[in-house]
Amino acid sequence: MKLINVSYLICIFLCGSFSLNAGVPVEEDSLLLKAQDLYEQGDYFEAGIAFERAYFFSSETKTRIQANIGRARALKQTGEFLKARNDLQRSLHLRQFPDLHFVIMYELAFCEYMAGNYSNSAGVLGQIKHFYPEKYDQNKILRLDALANVMSENFIDGQERTLELIMKIDLDAETADSLIVRTMQLFCECAQPWERSVKTASRLSTFIPGAGQAYAGYPGKGLLNAGSQLVSLGLAAYMGYNNLFVSGFVIGLGMFQSFYFGGIRQAGYLAEQRNLKEMGAYKELLKDFIIGLDD
Amino acid sequence: MVQYLKPKFLFIGLVICLQLNLYGQEKFTQEIRFINHMLNRQNFDEALFLLENFHPVTTDQRDTVNYLLGWTLYGQKELRTSAHYLALVSEQSPFLEKSRFFAAYNHAYLRDTDDAVTFLNMFDSSFSDEVFYMKNFQLAGISLLDRRMNDFDALAGSFTGTLSITATEEQRFRDYRQRIVDMPRRSPFLAGLMSAAVPGLGKIYAGKTAEGISGLLYVGAMMAVSLDFYNRFGGKSPLFWISSGISGIFYVGNIWGSVTAVKRVQNEFNYEIDQRILLDMHIPLRKLFP
């Protein structure tokens, strides 16, 4: 009797011990559900950790991909796009679940865009077009592709995607026509800011003081610089005329060389700044237009 | 009957306790695996959040959590807090040696060298030869940081150059010692005096040759202008007085600049050599505890 009892207890012990490990797959689903709960409650930081926990402890590929997508979405909410991008890349090679693979690629493209890697974003969207041509034709993807191309200054593709997007949106013929005309106007080469050459600006200021600044779009600064050079040269000449040769050399010519060489550097810098400013404003204009194309 | 049942219940109770303990251990191991995974993926903030919200039960678990907290904070350059957690690792822990060495290093980096020495001195001859040798090496590094050359010489006497993880750094320590000793001790007063005699000369003496030449040109040019005004308009001219005033400011500024240049050069040297010493203290530690 005693022997039987002991045998039973040993069996219970062994069953209990093994059930610790056997219980893990059950926990996998609960981990994912818990993470989703946290996400829905708006606790994105803890949701990100919970999704990662589900990813780490899961042995199922599908669960891992789902957890990875969940984590990326949680990280997106906290503004950690680069981290989300890095995490998403772990599942990029898993193509046995096309629906999930497509979501991974879209999220990756979105995170790349939000992290400022516009060319990478356009590259991933190009892969979506290649692998999932039937799914590529969605408004959100076309919009993201148009934006990525605009931000990476690939205006031809940007225009093409924008036109595709307008065709996809359910609009009456009149509105669609006006949007197409507006797109053509906005993307027209004549609407794009012309790029000022930094070298030309510097060279102009080398030979004609103030001309480089005027070329860069700052004629006032050009006048000020040319005037300063003229005054300092005048001072040097005036001092020399009054037999103050040393003072004329030190004060007059000293000031002149500062204004002269400073003016050359300033012209190049201003040209560069003007290019950035105008291109930034142009891209913002296109971005607002593309985002404003409502579904 | 009662007598027969008692041991049976005791046994069942024991089995249940054992099961619970096993379950607790399994959960702990899983959590630590997960935290290590987060650390490997450079998710330091999340790993810290997990560790800070972890409630260890046994001493082993507490040691593991304190070690991981210290190590994570070390990765985030929070050296003082890192040293605090690393110091909490108990003597029974397998992380003891690494924790103490890195706690000492953190203190050395923060220039709390007394605390660093205290941590290192807990390693006695009962530890392995390698650990004992490393203690000696770290102490030598700290004496160099403190510029205690006699202590360094005494500790460097036991450098053998045979332990591969410290061989190169031992030689470098000796080089640093030589550089510290050879570093000329320049006088700020003398630098000021030299610049008073010839503007810029004090800076050249301090080791800032380019600054010295530039100072000479500035002060010389301003003085030449003053002289020019004096020759042309005489000693009562406001132009002469204005230019003389500006020359005076340049002249005095140059003297003061020479005085501070000596201290600046000394500080730059000390900073550079300290950074090198700390780096060479760190490399063997990472080799011993990868």
Q: What value does the mean pLDDT take over residues B222-244?
A: 91
Chain A neighbors of B224, CB-CB under 8 A: 246-247, 250
Domain shared by A234 and A264, yes or no? yes
Tokens (6 digits) for B168: 């190169």
Please give the residue of chain B at the shortest CA–CA distance from A27.
B27
- The domain total for chain A is 3
In a mutational test of the A interface, the residue from B20, B225, B229, B244 whose CB has the highest number of chain A CBs within 10 Å is B225
Q: Which residues contact B190 (CB under 8 A, 6 or more apart)?
A: B202, B205
Whether residue B49 and residue A49 make contact (CB cut-off 8 A), yes or no, is yes
A165 contacts A291 by C-beta, under 8 angstroms: no
Q: Using CA atoms, how far apart are residues A163 and B19, in angstroms rounded to an integer?
A: 66
Q: Is B197 helix (H, G, I), strand (E, B) or coil?
A: helix
Q: What is the pLDDT of residues B156-208, one digit of tens each?
A: 988 888 888 888 999 999 999 999 999 988 999 999 999 999 999 999 999 99
pLDDT surpasses 60 at A189? yes
Whether residue B224 and residue A250 make contact (CB cut-off 8 A), yes or no, is yes
pLDDT surpasses 80 at B59? yes
Please give the residue of chain B at the shortest CA–CA distance from A248.
B225
Q: What value does the mean pLDDT take over residues B214-240?
A: 91
Where is the domain boundary, A115, A145, A162? A115
Chain CA centroid to CA A132, Å: 23
Domain shared by A270 and A220, yes or no? yes
pLDDT surpasses 50 at A26? no
Whether residue A52 and residue B26 make contact (CB cut-off 8 A), yes or no, is no
| Alpha helices, H only, A59-117 | 61-77, 81-88, 98-114
Whether residue A250 and residue B225 make contact (CB cut-off 8 A), yes or no, is yes
pLDDT range class, residue A29, cuts 50, 70, 90: confident
Whether residue B224 and residue A251 make contact (CB cut-off 8 A), yes or no, is no
Q: What is the pLDDT of residues B121-161, one digit of tens each?
A: 998 888 888 898 899 999 999 999 999 999 999 999 888 88
Domain shared by A51 and A109, yes or no? yes
- Residue bearing tokens 């500006």: B246
**Between these two residues, A10 and A102, which has the higher pLDDT value?**
A102
The domain of A94 spans 27-115
Whether residue A244 and residue B232 make contact (CB cut-off 8 A), yes or no, is yes
Flag the least confident range among A91-100, B144-153, B244-253.
A91-100
Is residue B111 left, alpha or beta, with left meaning phi > 0 and alpha meaning psi from -120 to 50?
Answer: left
What does the pLDDT read at residue B57?
80
What does the pLDDT read at residue B9?
61
What does the pLDDT read at residue A6?
58
Tokens (6 digits) for A126: 């190009």
**How close A56 gets to chain B, by Cα (Å)?**
7
The average confidence (pLDDT) of chain B is 89
What does the pLDDT read at residue B159?
87
**How close A46 gets to chain B, by Cα (Å)?**
8
Domain shared by A286 and A211, yes or no? yes
Whether residue A9 and residue B12 make contact (CB cut-off 8 A), yes or no, is yes
What does the pLDDT read at residue A43?
95
pLDDT over 90 percentage in chain B: 69
pLDDT range class, residue A25, cuts 50, 70, 90: very low
Q: What residue ranges do the domains of chain B occupy?
A: 40-183, 188-275
Instruction: Say how many C-beta atoms besides its own lie within 10 A of residue A195's C-beta.
Output: 11
What does the pLDDT read at residue A9?
56
Q: Does A105 fall in a domain?
A: yes
DSSP string, A94-109: --SSHHHHHHHHHHHH
Give the nearest partner residue to A5 out of B8, B30, B228, using CB atoms: B8
Whether residue B232 and residue A245 make contact (CB cut-off 8 A), yes or no, is no
Domain shared by A32 and A79, yes or no? yes
What does the pLDDT read at residue B21?
60
What does the pLDDT read at residue B18?
57
Q: Does A4 fall in a domain?
A: no
DSSP string, B52-95: HT----SHHHHHHHHHHHHHHHHHTT-HHHHHHHHHTS-TTSTT
Q: Using CA atoms, how far apart are residues B251 and B216, in angstroms rounded to an integer?
A: 9
Q: Using CA atoms, how far apart are residues B260 and B262, in angstroms rounded to an integer?
A: 5
Domain shared by A59 and A101, yes or no? yes
Q: Does A93 fall in a domain?
A: yes
In a mutational test of the B interface, the residue from A4, A10, A56, A85 whose CB has the highest number of chain B CBs within 10 Å is A56
pTM: 0.76
CA distances from B211 to A134, B193, B201, B215, B264 (A): 69, 17, 10, 6, 13
**How close B165 gets to chain A, by Cα (Å)?**
35
CA distances from B140 to B80, B116, B181, B229 (A): 22, 12, 16, 63
Domain shared by A174 and A230, yes or no? no
Q: Using CA atoms, how far apart are residues A200 and B201, in angstroms rounded to an integer?
A: 43
Q: What is the 3-state secondary structure (H, E, C) of B108-140?
A: HHCCCHHHHHHHHCCCCCCCCHHHHHHHHHHHH
Q: Torsion angle, CA of A236/A238/A243/A249, rounded to 10 degrees?
A: 0
Q: Which residues contact A60 (CB under 8 A, 6 or more apart)?
A: A25, A28
**How close B72 gets to chain A, by Cα (Å)?**
16
Q: Does A21 fall in a domain?
A: no
3-state helix, strand, coil in chain A (%, to 5): 85, 0, 15
Where is the domain boundary, A86, A115, A144? A115
Q: Using CA atoms, how far apart are residues B256 and B250, in angstroms rounded to an integer?
A: 10
Q: What value does the mean pLDDT take over residues A264-287?
A: 96
Domain shared by A106 and A135, yes or no? no
A171 contacts A179 by C-beta, under 8 angstroms: yes
Where is the domain boundary, A172, A192, A212? A192
Q: What value does the mean pLDDT take over residues A10-34?
A: 59
Q: Does A92 fall in a domain?
A: yes
pLDDT range class, residue B79, cuts 50, 70, 90: very high
Give the nearest partner residue to B224 out of A20, A46, A246, using CB atoms: A246
Q: What is the pLDDT of residues A225-251, one digit of tens each?
A: 999 999 999 999 999 998 899 999 999
Please give the residue of chain B at the shortest CA–CA distance from A58.
B34
The average confidence (pLDDT) of chain A is 90
Closest CA to A88 of A103, A101, A100, A72: A72
pLDDT surpasses 60 at B15? no
Q: Torsion angle, CA of B237/B242/B245/B247, rounded to 10 degrees?
A: -100
- Residue bearing tokens 């301090």: B206
**Between these two residues, B208 and B9, which has the higher pLDDT value?**
B208
A183 contacts A161 by C-beta, under 8 angstroms: no
Flag the least confident range among A196-210, B10-24, B104-118.
B10-24
**How close B129 gets to chain A, by Cα (Å)?**
40
Provide the residue type at B3 as one letter. Q
B273 contacts B182 by C-beta, under 8 angstroms: no
- Superfamily the domain B40-183 falls into: Tetratricopeptide repeat domain (1.25.40.10)
What does the pLDDT read at residue B36?
92
pLDDT range class, residue A28, cuts 50, 70, 90: low
Give the nearest partner residue to A247 out of B19, B46, B229, using CB atoms: B229
Chain A neighbors of B222, CB-CB under 8 A: 250
Q: Does A231 fall in a domain?
A: yes
